Structure 1
Amino acid sequence: MANTIKTLRYLALFSYCGLVIFVFAWHTLIAPSTMHSVWFQLLLYGLPLLFPLKGILQGKPYTHAWANFVLMWYFLHGLTVVYTSPEVRHLAIIEIILATGAFIGCTYYAQKQGRALGLGLKKKSEQD
């Protein structure tokens, strides 16, 4: 595995796993909401992160690519909380940083590793 691909994998892996740990800690230990139960928060905020986790840990490029759809939920959640809740703004900024790191790592890892493995769509000019 080339150094660039390995670096992107580590960025994706550490940011994604960090986001999983942080989201669970935020909504259960650090600042649980008083309006909703902890179980509801874990289902709403924690469960989506678990869907692509196995593929991320295994280093599958396809999973890294579609995990970005899940990551956008956390990026948008963080932006919303920064704007609406000053008391937990610092937590939302951490969420945004982790989601952004995971997004960048997943995107470029999927692209580079997919090309290295010969996966992906061929360009129209290459098909003719």
Structure 2
Amino acid sequence: MANKTKFYRYVALLSHLALLLWVANWQLLVTKEHAYSVPFVVLIYLMPLLLPLHGILRGKAYTHAWANFFILFYFLHSITVLYAVPAERVYAAVELVLAVAMFTGCCVFARLRGRECGLGIGKLKDEMEREKQHFEQR
């Protein structure tokens, strides 16, 4: 694995773990008024971060790619809290930074690792030429 690929893997991994710890701390310990029950908070806020954890720890590019769908929830949550809840803006800003870091790390790692493994999609022009040659040889 190239150094650049390793760097983005560690960005994704560290921001994922930090986001998991931050959201757990914020939602379970820091918030004084609990509008929701603890099982609900765990299910809604923490479970989406736990689902891709095994694949991210093992450095699987495919897991990094689909984990981005979960990160969008935390991105939207932080933007909403930044706008709507002035008392929790600092917490939301940290969540936003961690979510953007994880999104960036996961995207770039999945792309670089996919190229290293030969999983990249070629240009349409080259693919069409290859198909044309394949069918003309028959």
2:53 aligned partner = 53
Detail structure 1 runs of 4+ shifted over 4 Å in the superposition. none
Deviation at 1:32, TM superposition (A): 5.1
2:78 aligned partner = 78
Q: Give the unaligned 5+ runs of structure 1.
A: none
1:5 aligned partner = 5
1:91 aligned partner = 91
> Which structure has the larger Rg over C-alpha atoms?
2
Q: Percent identity at matched positions? A: 46
Taking the aligned partners of 1:10 and 1:66, their CA distance within structure 2 comes to 17
Report the count of equivalent residues. Answer: 128
Please, what is the CA RMSD of the aligned residues?
1.2
Distance 1:33 1:124, change over 3 A: farther
Q: Give the unaligned 5+ runs of structure 2.
A: 131-138
TM-score normalised to the size of structure 2?
0.88
Q: Deviations over 1:88-127 (max 9, x none)?
A: 1100000000000000000000000110011243332332
Contact 1:27–1:33 under 8 Å retained in 2: no
Taking the aligned partners of 1:33 and 1:49, their CA distance within structure 2 comes to 23
